[in-house]
Amino acid sequence: MALITPRVQRVIELIELQPGKSYIDIGCGTAAFAHLVASRAAMGQPPLCFDLAPGPGPVDAIAWPERLPLRDQSVDCVTSLYYLRRFDDDVVHAFGDELSRILTPGGAALVMEVAPVKNARLEQLHHRLLGGGCAQVDFRGWGRLAALFTECGFDAIDLVNVGPFIVPPIPRVGVLLRRAL
C-alpha cells in the first residue's frame, strides 16, 4: 500500500493525526498501511482496523460500512482507502452517515478511491485489475462521491491530492470529510 499511496506524511497532515487522538482504518486489507501511518505519526498504539472479512493482516473487527460498531463521536481520525468501489451508492451514502456519526467534533476522515477514466478500454482494464473477487466494481469521481456524502452532516467536504500513484499509474480521487469543533 505504501507503493500505491507514497505520501504517508500527507495522509497524516490531512487527518491531523497526532498522539492522543484516536485513529481507525476501515477496509484495511492487510492493515499494513494503517499501521505505517500510526507509526509515522508517533501514535504509540496501533490503529483499530475494520474490514468486511478476516484478512491476511491484523483485522480488529469485522464491520459493514453502513453499520460501524463504534459509539457516536468516538473517533478523531479515519482513513478508508480503496474500499468503496465494492459497494453501491446506497451503501456509500450510509457509510458517509456512519463516518459523520462516529467522528468527534474537529475529526476528519480521508476516503480515497480509484477514479474513473474516459478511455473505455483503460476503464475495462482497471475494472479487471481492481475487481478482486467483487461481483461489480463502481469507480466514482469527485462529484459523485461528494454528492453521496452531502447531507451526511459533515461541515466540510474537500477534494484532496495525496500524491501520485507510483505503481500502477491509475487515477484516484481523495475526499476529506470534516466535522467542525
Strand blocks (E) in the chain: 23-26, 48-51, 61-62, 75-81, 103-114, 156-160, 172-178
Question: For residue 19, is it within any domain?
Answer: yes
In the beta sheet, which residues pair with residue 64? 67
Answer whether residue 3 shows pLDDT above 80: no
Domain limits at 153? 8-178
Residue-wise pLDDT tens digits, 50-79: 998 887 778 899 999 999 999 999 999 999
Question: For residue 115, is it within any domain?
Answer: yes
Question: For residue 120, is it within any domain?
Answer: yes
Nearest residue to 147 via CA among 119, 175, 105, 115: 175
Residue 152 dihedral angles phi and psi, to the nearest 5°: -95, 0
HSE-up of residue 35 (Cα within 13 Å, Cβ side): 9
The H or E element containing residue 10 is helix 8-15
Determine how many CB atoms are found less than 10 A away from the CB of residue 178. 19
- Compute and round to an integer the Cα radius of gyration of the chain: 15
Question: For residue 35, is it within any domain?
Answer: yes
Tally of domains in the chain: 1
Average pLDDT, the chain: 86
Question: For residue 3, is it within any domain?
Answer: no
Question: For residue 42, is it within any domain?
Answer: yes
What span, in angstroms and rounded, lies between the C-alpha atoms of 6 and 17?
17
CATH code of the domain covering residue 145: 3.40.50.150
Question: For residue 2, is it within any domain?
Answer: no
Residue 176 C-alpha cell reads as: 476529506
Highest mean pLDDT among 28-32, 64-68, 165-169, 170-174: 64-68
Mean pLDDT over residues 86-113, rounded?
Answer: 95
Report pLDDT for 155.
96
Question: For residue 118, is it within any domain?
Answer: yes
Determine how many CB atoms are found less than 10 A away from the CB of residue 106. 13
The pTM assigned to this predicted structure is 0.87
